[in-house]
Structures are given as C-alpha cells and as structure tokens.
Structure 1
Amino acid sequence: MYIKKLVIRNQKEGKNIREINFNLGVSLIVDISKITNQQDTGNDVGKTTVLRLINYCLGGKADEIYKNKESKSSINLTVKNFLINNEVLIVLTLCRDFSDPTTDIVIQRNFLKGNKKKICTINDCPFSNIENFKKELKSIFYNSNLDKPSFRQLIDRHLRFDYGSERIVNYLHFGTSDKEYEQIYLFLYGLYKASELSTNKSGELDKFKEYENIKKKLFKDRTSSLVQQEIIILNNDIENIEKQKKDFNINGLYQEELREIDDLNDQINNLMREYSTLKTCLKIYEQNILNLESEKCELEVKDVEALYNEAGIYLPTLNKTLEETIAFHNKLIINKINFIKSDIPALKNKVLELKEKIKIYTERKKYLEEKQKRHGSLSEYESLISSIKPLYEQKGKLLQEQEKIVEYDNLIDTCAEKIITINNEIQKYDKDLQTKLGVFNKYFTEYAMKFYNESYFISTLVSEKTKCYKFELSNLKGNIGTGKKKGVMSAYDLAYISFANELKLKCPKFVLHDRIEDIHSNQLVSLINLVNSSNFDGQYIVSVLSGKFKEEHLQTLLEQNKVIELSPQEKLFKIEQQTQQQS
C-alpha cells in the first residue's frame, strides 16, 4: 500500500487549500525558511504537520495537529479554530498500484464532532466508531482481522515521529512491554499464528500476575501445608472434647434438640466462614480502589515526573508531555477501578443475604438453648459445647483459608502450565523466525553498509523474566551516534519494506520520517539514490530544511524529489492569506 495524494480542503468555501502528490520513491516536504545556524529547526510552517495529517487519516488523534510540537500542553488555537470553523477536510488517497486508479483507497476525516457533521470515511463508507475505522484499516493494510496487535501498534512502525523518532527497534512509548513487542514483531515478520499464540500468552501472563497479587494480599506467606498442620493440631483437640461429649450421660428427652443445636452451630459456623471471606474480599476490593486512587495521586507528583524526567535525559526530543503520560496512566487506573467496582454490588447483596441467614439460625439456636435451660441444669454439658465451639470456628476458618490458598495455587499453576505450553508452541516457529530475520538482515546489512560501511543486524533472545522474545539491534563497532542513528533507522525501515516485498507480506510500502538533516551528505545521497533505484519498491516521505543542504548536488536532489515547499510566507494551511482575503 502506497501513499498517493494528500488533499487539504476548505469545505466551507468549497476549495482546496493544498494538494500534495507523492512520488514512488523519495518525497521531500521542504521548509525553505532561512536558518542562521545548524541548531535551527526552522519556523513553524507545517512541514511536520503534513506527516501528522497523514497520521490523522490513519487513525491518529486530532489534537496532534494543533498542539505545539515542542510543548504539547500548549494548543495552537489559531490552527484549531481554523480547522473547525472552516470545516477543513483531509483526504488521503492510498493505492496498491500508482499506475492503476482502480486500486485507489480514499480516506476522509475532518475535525468536527457530532454524527451529523463529523466525517470519517473509507471509500465513502462512514465510520461513527474510531475503533471500527482502525480495524478496517488493519484489514486493508495487513489483511488481518485480529484484535492484537492493534493497527496503531503496527502502523507506528512506519511513522517515525514522536516516540519512534529516537528508538529504532522499540519504537512505541516507553511503557510498551516485552509481551506487546513480541506480538508485534512476530506479526510483522509474517508469523501470524505465533503472534496469535503470543497474544494468548499475554492474557495468561496478566492472569498469572493478578492471581499472585491477590494471593499475596489475602494470605501473605502462608501456604497450604502450614494451614494443614494447624488443622491437624485442632482436630486432635476437637476429638478429645467430642469423646467427652459422647460419654456424657444426659436425659434422652433433650437429645433431639441438642442435636439440632449442634447442627445449627455447624450451619452458623459455615455461614460465618463464608460471610468472613466475602467481607475480606470486599475489604480487599475497597482497599484496592483506595490503593489505585493513591497510586494515581502519587504518580502525578512523584513517579511519572521522575520517569518522564529520566526519559527526557535519554530521549531529548521526546514529545509526549508529563500531563499526557499522567492522563494515559490515570485512564488505565480508572478502568481498573471501574472493573473492581462492577463486582462490589453482587458481593454486598450476598453479604446481606448471609447476614440474614446467620441471624435466623442464631435466633433459633438461642431459643433452643433457653428451652434446654428451663428443663434443668446442663452447665457441664454446655461447658463442653462452649469449649469446642471456638475450635470448630477456628477450624472452619482454616479450612476456608486452605481452600482459597489451594484454589489460587491451582489457578497460578494452571496459568504457568498454559504459558509453558504456549511458549513451547511459539518455539516451534523459531526456525522460521530466524530464517526470516536472516532475510531482513540481508537488506539491513546491505543498506547500512551503503550508508556507513558497517554491518547492523537484528537478533533475538528470550527474556528470563517475561519468557518473551526480545528483538535487539547489534553492530560490530559499538554505540550509534545521533547522526548515525538517523541513518541506521532509515536503513532499518527501508530494509523492512524490501523484506516484506520479498516475502510478499501485505503491509505499508512507505515510511515517514521527520528531519534527516543530521545525516552526513554522503549518506544522504546514498539514501535517496537507494530509494529511487529500480531495486527498491517503496516510499520514503520526509520533512527537511533546505538551508541545511547547501551543497549543489544536495540542492539538485531537493529539487528533483520535493513534493511541496513551505515557508513563513507560504505556510501549510495558508491561514494568513485566507484571513486577509476574507477581511
């Protein structure tokens, strides 16, 4: 799937603001602003916004268009209001074949809300739900209807700005787990069944962790064996008292009622155990909610700030703000809280039901005991009953505790067994994975050698902690510098397109990069020549500053491959010009 054209249309006035036709090969979005030094990044003319508009048509968020690039907490109200007030429509045309218009796929999105004015279509088919829209895109791009990995997790591999602009292999946000990357890369390397197995394993890993946490909160370090030994000691004491009760000589007139009292004691004890367990669960649920709320607050003031600051040290161009990271995390917290709360009403009803039964049985027992007392002194017998009652209660609690410990042990063991089984199934695909990695590395090494005369490659290892594949970048000469990292990333991304073409995998045949000025001019020439060669079938769409390409041969390349020029006088949305015309 290629990107053929992007149209920005002012629907209110019925005219196009921009129409950008992309090349098969290299397409340069050129900012011709004058720069005074090598640190300048150019004015805010909209070169990166072109990439963001493509991203928006592929299921991205609207606010990424008008939020400040450097400080995302700041909103460009001029742009936002222009997009909304003029009912601006973004039209992205994709194609499977540049020379065959019948393969075109047209995506349209605007920035309005409400079903009557909102436009979100694929080939004129409307989508009111953004998730269904992204599922359809996944089917178009990858011929897959699986829920995981998600379309956005996959397509972000081809959109190298924000998170992906600094990380070559682990290109998503820093909270993405090993298990998610395993699903993603098994899918991207064409091992769809293995990726599906990895998704199943992810579910079992989540349950395994949840069961372990619940068990630890309920029972701390107590084990089934420890509880069993406590029960054995109690049974010895109970047997001794029961023997004394059996030997006790009592009038036969009271035997039936005494048996009923014993039965009521058993029933009350059983109900009390169940009542106690449910009350404990309620307490844990409520404590979990408080803990989650507390975690949310602490995260706002401590954890995320520290994590974000630390990330800023290693990822200086990280564009996600503290507020967005907090909002993302707090959304997860709120979902967990709502999930826990959904179980509480049923538990409370059950507790009330048990409480009522206990009350009824207790009143009946009290009545019978009072009746027994009126018939004569049973103090000695009652003393035996009184001494054995707490032992039975304690035993009941221990049996209930043991039952729950065994239950969670079984759940944990079952998850562990399933994880092992799934891992064994995934490992059956390892030979195929290594073969495909070999094909990918063939291109990766070739392209990296063209750019830097160095060999780079991807290898795998299985994490001891998560039991998941980790995909790692390696080379033979140590660390990658900043400028070199951009070039290696380009080689990596272009290698995937060539790899997918050779294996005939259905996927995007484009990659979008934001700024490649740090790449040395020699490598830049090699990069552009590679993508434009007959041996490469794909697109490299990148925003650049013309002022940083002063050499004549680079200027020639810019002229040959540019698809749009922007400047402070000719910004992307032409807001100033249109405002002047309207006034």
Structure 2
Amino acid sequence: MFLKSLSITHGDGTIIRDILFHPGLNLIVDETPDESGKETGNNVGKTTVLKLVDFCLGAKAKGIYSDQENKRNEYKLVKNFLIENSVCVSLLLKDDLFQERSREVLIERNFLSRKYKIQRINGKDKTDDEFEETLTDLLFPGHYGKKPTFRQIIAHNIRYEDLSINNTLKNLNRYTRDDEYETLYLFLFGCDFEQGDTKQELRAQIDIEEKFRKRLESEQTKSAYEAALNLIQTDIDELERQKASLNLNPNFESDLEKLNKIKYEINLASSEIGRLELRRELISEAQKEIQASKSNIDLQQLQQIYQQATSLVSGLQKTFQDLYDFHNRMVESKIKFIIKDLPEIDSKLAAQREHLNSLLAEETALSSVIIQSDSFNVLEQLIVGLNAKYQKKGDYENTLRQLGSVESKLIELNNDLIAIDNELFSDEFALKIKDQINKFNKHFSSVSNELYDEKYALKVDTKTVKGRRLYEFTAFNLNFSSGKKQGEISCFDIAYTLFADEENIPCMHFLLNDKKELMHGNQLLRIANLVNMKGIQFIASILKDKLPGELNKDEFVILKLSQGDKLFRIEE
C-alpha cells in the first residue's frame, strides 16, 4: 500500500494543501533562509505533514498541535485554527501507484467531536473502534483483535518522534514491554505463532499478580507474617488460659446483661425526672410572673381620681372598685389554669424517684454479685487484650490468604506460560526464526552495503527476564553517531519492505522519516537511487541548506515550506 495524496481543506471545502506523492524519494523541504547562523526549520510544518499521515492512520489528534518534547504544551494557534475552521484531512492510499485500477482506500478525519466529528473510510462513518478494525481488515486482512496491533505493525513506517528516530527496533513508546516487541517482530518476520496473544495476556496477568503480591508484602514478607501469626497465637493461648483461670460469677453473662439493662433504665428514669422537674420549674416561674401582675394599689386615692373622671365623662356604669376586682379575678383564673398540672407532675416525680431508687438499689446488688474482689477488672483487661490480638490475627490471616491466592494464581499462570514457551522455544520453531532472519539479513546487508559500504545484520537471542524466556531481536555493528544511526534505521526499513514483499507478508510500502538533515548528503543520494530503483516510497522532511543539490529538484520535492508559507498558511 502506497501514499497517493494528502489533502487539507477548510470545512467549506476550500483547499489549504493538496500534496501528491510519487514512487521513490518524496522530500518536504523547509526553504526558510539561514539568517545570522541561526537554524531554520522551526514550526513551518514539515514534521506536521508526517503527523497528519499518522493521524489519518489512527494517531491521536493531540499529536498535531502538541509539543513533541512536552505533550502538555499545546500550540494554541494551530489547535484553534483546526477546530474553528473545521479543517479536514484526507489521505488516499493505493495498492499500486503504477496501476490505475488498483485498489484505493480513502481516509478522512477532522479535529471536532461528537456530532461534528468526521471519521470516514471510503465514505463510511466509523466509530473509534470501527475505525481501527476497518483499517486493520483493509491493510492486514484477518488480523484485527490479534497481537501485535495495527498501530504497532506500522510503527516502523512512520518515524518522527525521538524514540523512533533514534532506535531501529525498539521504536514504540517507552512503556512497551519486551514480550510485546517479541510478538511484534515474530509477526513482522513471518514467524506466526498462534498463541502469541495468549502469551501476552498471560504475561500481563502475571505482572498484575506480582504487583499485587509486592503491595501485600510492602511492610513484611510472607514468612514474616507467618512468624508473627504464630507469636500472636501463642499470646492468645496465654490470655485465654488466664481468662479460664479467673474465679468469676457462674451467672456472670446473664447478670452482666441484667446490669446493663438496669443501667439503661436508670438513664431513662433520670432523664424523665429531669424533664418533669424542668416542666415544674417552668410552671412555677409562670405562676410568679402572673401573680406579680395582680393589682395592690391605694383604692381611696384612685377613688378620688375616678370621681373627677366621672364628673367630666357621663354614662360610666362601673365603679373603679369593679374594674379592680375584675382584673384580679382574671389573674387568679390564669394562675389556677397554669398550676392545674402541678399535682399530676408532683405525683409522677414521686413515682419516678421511687422507681429510680429501686433501680439504684438493684444496680448496687447486682454490681456486688458481679464484682467479686477485682476479677471483673482483670477480665475486662483480658478481653481488651484478646480483642486486639484477634483483630491483628485476622489481619495477618487475611493477608496470608491473599498471598496464598496470588501465589496459586501465579503458579497456574506460569505453568500456562511454560507450556506456551515450550512450543515457542522448541528447536523446530527456533530454526524457523533463524531461517527467516537469514532471509531478511540478505536484504539488510545488501542495502547497508549499498548505502554505507558496511554490512548490517539482525540477530535473535534468547534471554531470560525475571525467569521468563524471550526472543530479543537486535542489530549488529551498532553505531552511536546520530548520522550512522539514521542510516541504520533507513537500511532496516527499506530491507524489511523488500523482505516482506519476497515473503508475501502484508506491509506498507511507504516510509516516513523526519530530520534527515542528520544524515550525510551522500547517503541521501544513495537512498534516493535505491528507493527509486526498488519502487519504495521514502518520504522525508529536511532543511534546504542540508539538501544535496542533486536532490533539490521537482522530481524529488513534493512540498516546499518556509516561515512565509507555513503548512496551514496561518501566520502569527
């Protein structure tokens, strides 16, 4: 499968970029002039072209507008542009660029969410799960749901992140386990292993169980818990012996229950007495307040005032004495009404006090029966001590049960893994891997010899990590200079494409590479000649001042960018 085109459009259909790819070398060049010795190539979008291809093949949208070194930093200008303008990216893949009627796959995605989200393959909308499933079925038929994943398989075809630029084989994210790399390269080199998925699942479960065991033993080891449990049981036995030797009331349990019930009733009676006394006190206070309002004035003096008033106001039928008597009668009526409950309250108070006295006497009697010398205090202390010991014993036993369960599970999982490994590391399977690696190395050494006059090769060793056997794939003759490492990576990727075609293994026929300015110009020229001859697409971003003059031609350059003409054509 080759890249045919990459289109970037506004939501209204206006084209921002329409990039056409061809067989052989495809260069994305930053033409910004080098001023005052400063480096060029900052934020013009040459790496973003590679990211957009990756985005169409299932990468996260955030990668387009995030800082590669610090994912938390976002380029707000680019992010806002992509979202506010409903920018859509379309990638067209083609089985054979030389055959007009060969199969094509059109992938369309935008950066919006929910109902505004565009995620289509060949014109059909896809959910996130359907998207990867459909891509896998189209490009690697029958492989969906198996290991390695679609994204892992194509990882070596798309190299723009530091890890993939600087590592030939371990080019996935830094959290990838060795067994995942093992499964990946067994698949890539055509060493199909039906239980590869099961092996990864077993190893993942084993990792979970081992982490759980480590957490359980974070404070003490299993043997320490067992020793501590034995000591606790000894302490419990001694406390139980002391408890049994106490000279206690034979009816202790029933008497203690009665005593607790009496104490409860004492509390109830005391509360009721308090409530009745409070009510009685409130009635007495109200009686005093009303009594104080009763009139005791000088009637003779008021009589004179009243006579003066009647001489001025005619028709008064009542004397002042009448008014005075009426007022006092009303006050007395209020007092009688308020204090009418006092006899009943006094009666209840007397009854409750008598009941309380009876309870207190019963409490005293029971207490004297229960407490024989100071055995009760000793028993109480023993019970407190036993409860603490039993609680700790329960904690330790629970931890040991969990550890036992984890160890049983680990034994079961490791036995399953051993059964799989016995097949995977059999002489027959090891010979198959060796044969496939030898086939690949013919291409690897040939390509590296053509590019560097050196012969690179791949080797596979069996190593043991935490008691588990693994196949580890590594390249010979490793080099530490960045230029040589870039060359080794390119040699590997080109050689693998040639090997996969020879073995009829499905693969992508395009290779995306960032920062090719790290490679010497002579090697770039050799790569150009090789991929043009072999019909492999080699898409690379590079600075113009690092580009050999022989490659600065329209037949190689598919896109020119600069500070004045950035990829999305938005200027700060």
AA partner of residue 58 (structure 2):
G
Q: Does 1:133 align with 2:128?
A: no
Per the alignment, residue 309 of structure 1 pairs with none
Please give the per-residue CA displacement for 1:531-557, whole angstroms capped at 9, x wherever unaligned.
Answer: 222xx46422212334433444x44xx
Per the alignment, residue 339 of structure 2 pairs with none
CA drift at 1:475: 2.5
Per the alignment, residue 407 of structure 1 pairs with 401
Structure 1-normalised TM-score? Answer: 0.67
Between the two proteins, the alignment pairs up a number of residues equal to 457
Per the alignment, residue 276 of structure 1 pairs with none
Per the alignment, residue 540 of structure 1 pairs with 538
546, 561, 564: which one aligns with 2:559? 564
Per the alignment, residue 491 of structure 2 pairs with 491
* Contact 1:154 1:184 (8 Å CA) reproduced: yes
* Contact 1:28 1:544 (8 Å CA) reproduced: yes
**CA, structure 1 residues 488+546, in 2 after alignment: closer, same or farther (shift >3 Å)?**
same
Structure 2-normalised TM-score? Answer: 0.68
Per the alignment, residue 27 of structure 1 pairs with 26
* Contact 1:93 1:106 (8 Å CA) reproduced: yes
AA partner of residue 396 (structure 1):
Y
AA partner of residue 541 (structure 1):
I
Per the alignment, residue 467 of structure 1 pairs with 468
Please give the per-residue CA displacement for 1:108-131, whole angstroms capped at 9, x wherever unaligned.
Answer: 01233341x32111122213x435
Aligned identity (percent) is 28
AA partner of residue 142 (structure 1):
F
Distance in 1 between residues matched to 2:147 and 2:37, nearest whole Å: 42
Secondary structure of the 2:518 match is coil
Distance in 1 between residues matched to 2:554 and 2:364, nearest whole Å: 104
CA drift at 1:524: 2.5
* Contact 1:197 1:426 (8 Å CA) reproduced: no
AA partner of residue 83 (structure 1):
L
AA partner of residue 95 (structure 2):
R
Distance in 1 between residues matched to 2:187 and 2:211, nearest whole Å: 27
411, 420, 424: which one aligns with 1:425? 420
CA drift at 1:93: 0.9
* Contact 2:29 2:46 (8 Å CA) reproduced: yes
Q: Which shows bigger deviation, 95-104 or 480-489? A: 95-104
Per the alignment, residue 90 of structure 1 pairs with 89
CA drift at 1:374: 6.9
AA partner of residue 540 (structure 1):
F
CA drift at 1:259: 12
CA drift at 1:482: 1.5
**CA, structure 1 residues 573+249, in 2 after alignment: closer, same or farther (shift >3 Å)?**
closer
**CA, structure 1 residues 472+260, in 2 after alignment: closer, same or farther (shift >3 Å)?**
farther
AA partner of residue 60 (structure 1):
A
AA partner of residue 448 (structure 1):
S
Distance in 2 between residues matched to 1:93 and 1:548, nearest whole Å: 30
AA partner of residue 412 (structure 1):
V
**CA, structure 1 residues 169+102, in 2 after alignment: closer, same or farther (shift >3 Å)?**
closer
Distance in 1 between residues matched to 2:95 and 2:564, nearest whole Å: 36
* Contact 2:94 2:103 (8 Å CA) reproduced: yes
- 1:45-84 maps to which residues of 2 (within 5 A)? 45-67=44-66, 76-84=75-83
CA drift at 1:525: 3.0
AA partner of residue 429 (structure 1):
L
AA partner of residue 499 (structure 1):
F
* Contact 1:89 1:109 (8 Å CA) reproduced: yes
CA drift at 1:219: 4.4
Q: Does 1:524 align with 2:518?
A: no
Per the alignment, residue 6 of structure 2 pairs with 6
* Contact 1:161 1:514 (8 Å CA) reproduced: yes
Distance in 1 between residues matched to 2:36 and 2:438, nearest whole Å: 42
**CA, structure 1 residues 78+234, in 2 after alignment: closer, same or farther (shift >3 Å)?**
closer
CA drift at 1:187: 4.2
**CA, structure 1 residues 197+481, in 2 after alignment: closer, same or farther (shift >3 Å)?**
same
AA partner of residue 90 (structure 2):
V
Secondary structure of the 2:465 match is coil
AA partner of residue 130 (structure 1):
D
- 1:374-389 maps to which residues of 2 (within 5 A)? 382=376, 385-386=379-380, 389=383
* Contact 1:228 1:402 (8 Å CA) reproduced: yes
Please give the per-residue CA displacement for 1:320-342, whole angstroms capped at 9, x wherever unaligned.
Answer: xxxxxxxxxxxxxxxxxxxxxxx
- Structure 2 gap ranges (5+): 259-362
Secondary structure of the 2:555 match is helix
Secondary structure of the 2:138 match is helix
Per the alignment, residue 319 of structure 1 pairs with none
Secondary structure of the 1:560 match is coil
AA partner of residue 547 (structure 2):
F
Distance in 2 between residues matched to 1:138 and 1:188, nearest whole Å: 15
Distance in 2 between residues matched to 1:184 and 1:372, nearest whole Å: 81
**CA, structure 1 residues 87+374, in 2 after alignment: closer, same or farther (shift >3 Å)?**
same
Per the alignment, residue 444 of structure 2 pairs with 444
CA drift at 1:408: 2.8
CA drift at 1:512: 0.5
- Structure 1 gap ranges (5+): 262-368
* Contact 1:182 1:198 (8 Å CA) reproduced: no
* Contact 2:185 2:473 (8 Å CA) reproduced: no
* Contact 1:241 1:384 (8 Å CA) reproduced: no
Distance in 1 between residues matched to 2:463 and 2:371, nearest whole Å: 74
CA drift at 1:486: 0.9
Aligned-residue CA RMSD (Å): 3.9
CA drift at 1:484: 1.0
Secondary structure of the 2:519 match is coil
